[in-house]
Structure 1
Amino acid sequence: MMKALELKIPPVIIVVLVAGLMLLVASLFPQVQFGPLPNWISLAVAILGVILPLVAAISFRRAQTTVHPSNPEKTSTIVTTGIYRVTRNPMYLGFAFILLGWGLYLGNMVALFGLPAYMFYMNAFQIKPEERILTEKFGQAYQDYRSKANRWL
């Protein structure tokens, strides 16, 4: 069953599902509200979350490789420059920032648990399978890159 989820659900769908669950949880547990935080803080975090995937996608386009998360075997090259020097997964990191911004906007401690849930899912069903495929495809070159750039931050 677990392997059946690998690379199956597009990450954007996961973000939407987690964001919806965060909203649901916030409404079910109103007693754990925090804040108030100025809305600009959550907006700034979410904007960073939008910028990271855009910068990453531009890097992929320049390298003429796929950005499609369900087909990592179609990757033609390992992108190691720009934002990819800092994180191997800036698109997924950006989505995490969007969820963090959403959680801050909701102002609910329980809703913030959506962020580690998202990261757990992405590690297990998206990132690790991608890493396995990229290691098979690029061998030592990908292993060397993994030793230089962190998975998230």
Structure 2
Amino acid sequence: MQAADPTRPPNRVPWPPLIYLLAALVALGLGCAWPRPDWPVAEVLSGLGWLVLAAGGGLDLWAMATMRRHRANILPHRAATALVTTGPFAWSRNPIYLGNTLMLIGFGLVLRNPWFLPAAAAAAVAVTHLAIRREEAHLEILFGPSWLAYRQRTARWFGR
């Protein structure tokens, strides 16, 4: 899917941060309707949750700082201004969305609310289909061969 106008923003609605907020609200609501089970290792999971939450938040901040250094637009409803391939973008094309997903998982563990785990997975799938694919088409139009080379060497979420 490619937009004809490279200045046209890749995302309007649903705005990706709203997808993550909605996932958190659904998980909280489900947690109230069907409370958590007694987890035998609850304290360990809570401690792990704080680590995952901190890792996700740290990844978000690192990615935002890297984008700022490159004077890249960070808002997903505005056109891209730079192709950032360093810092966390060297190993994930979407470190902010990855950080948001990790934070949802971390909240689930801290709050001992298992509904956050499928909510995080659903948010990641929704963001992939409703935002990331549009953003990738937008970046291909704007940055052509540079984007294609970056896409080839860097995973959408993580790894390779």
Distance 1:54 1:61 in 2: 10
After the TM superposition, which residues 1-150 of structure 1 pair with which residues of structure 2 at under 5 Å, given as runs?
6-30=11-35, 32=37, 34=39, 35-38=41-44, 39-71=46-78, 73=79, 75-150=80-155
Q: What residue ranges of structure 2 are gaps of 5+ in the alignment?
A: 1-10
Name the TM-score, length of structure 2 as normaliser: 0.82
Distance 1:136 1:64 in 2: 19
Deviations 1:37-78 (A, max 9, x none): 43322111111111111111111111111111111x2x2221
1:32 CA displacement = 4.8
1:33 CA displacement = 5.2
Contact 2:56 2:99 in 1 (8 A): yes
**Structure 1 residue runs of 4 or more that deviate by more than 4 Å after TM superposition:** none
Structure 1 residues 76 and 116, CA, compared in 2 at 3 Å: closer, same or farther? same
Q: What residue ranges of structure 1 are gaps of 5+ in the alignment?
A: 1-5
Distance 1:37 1:100 in 2: 16
2:76 partner SS: coil
Deviations 1:113-138 (A, max 9, x none): 10111011100111110001111111
- The size of the alignment, in residue pairs, is 146
Higher helix share: 1
Contact 2:104 2:116 in 1 (8 A): no
Name the TM-score, length of structure 1 as normaliser: 0.86
Contact 2:51 2:106 in 1 (8 A): yes
Structure 1 residues 33 and 141, CA, compared in 2 at 3 Å: closer, same or farther? farther
Distance 1:114 1:33 in 2: 20
Distance 2:23 2:38 in 1: 18
